[in-house]
Amino acid sequence: MTGKKRGSTNFVVANLDRDLTRKKALQITSELLGYKYFYAKFPDPWFDLLRLAVSRIQDKNQPVRASAIKTVTQFLHRHPFTLHGETLARAPIEAKAAEIRDQLKVFLDDAEHADEVDAGQLSLLEAQHKYFTHLVQFLDQLEHQAIPYLAQLLASKNKAEVIDTMDFFVEAHALKLPGAAVGLSKMWHLVFNVRNSEHLKDIHAHLIACFDAVYLSSAAATAKQTAPTGLSWDGE
């Protein structure tokens, strides 16, 4: 990370709790997330910014909340935890984390009584342990902190907030993020709240698009992937 990016990170951490700079700080955070190696080089600031962005979802100022929703969605969209697979399903991640933790413990116990230690194996296990520890922290932050706030915003009277929040839950569902079902459940309630409301017709239209992505498009893709050999959905 260049000195400019490091300075931007320091600015955000120092100012995200100040009224006049919260929105700007969130905008800078979104820009920093576009830096490919941000987390790899500076994991602690990355998590600091995630926590601060999540806390702004319930900000009293609507433009700040709007920026916070978009920023947290960017954290999800650009998250760096892809070495284990493509999804964020908690059960297999925690199982693998426990497996690596046990392997590292056994290795360290054996190393105490060994004449030589395989430095390469130790380095690999430590890197894997750090990766899964951070991944679980990421899941915890989104599931236990961000999602409860975002679920509440689905009842917001601000159209943009509702639409952006729905987009978050669609992506969360696609990634199998723990807690995504909470948002989808609340989105179903919007069907009845907005169906006869001319004022909120854009929310209704976006809701239909979201449900198409979640329930129809994803189901069709899954069916195509699991079709028996020799069959094709394209008629070939």
Overall average pLDDT of the 10-28 stretch: 70
**Residue 7 burial class via C-beta count within 10 angstroms: exposed 0-12, middle 13-18, buried 19 and up:** exposed
Question: What does the pLDDT look like over 164-184, one tens digit per residue?
Answer: 999 999 999 999 999 999 999
When the pLDDT of each residue in the chain is averaged and rounded to a whole number, the result is: 85
Give the start-to-end residue ranges of the domains of the chain: 1-80
pTM of the model: 0.83
Q: Is residue 169 a contact partner of residue 180, using CB atoms and an 8 Å limit? A: yes
Residue 234 Cα distances to 29, 83, 220, 230, 231, angstroms: 43, 32, 12, 12, 9
Q: Is residue 165 a contact partner of residue 157, using CB atoms and an 8 Å limit? A: no
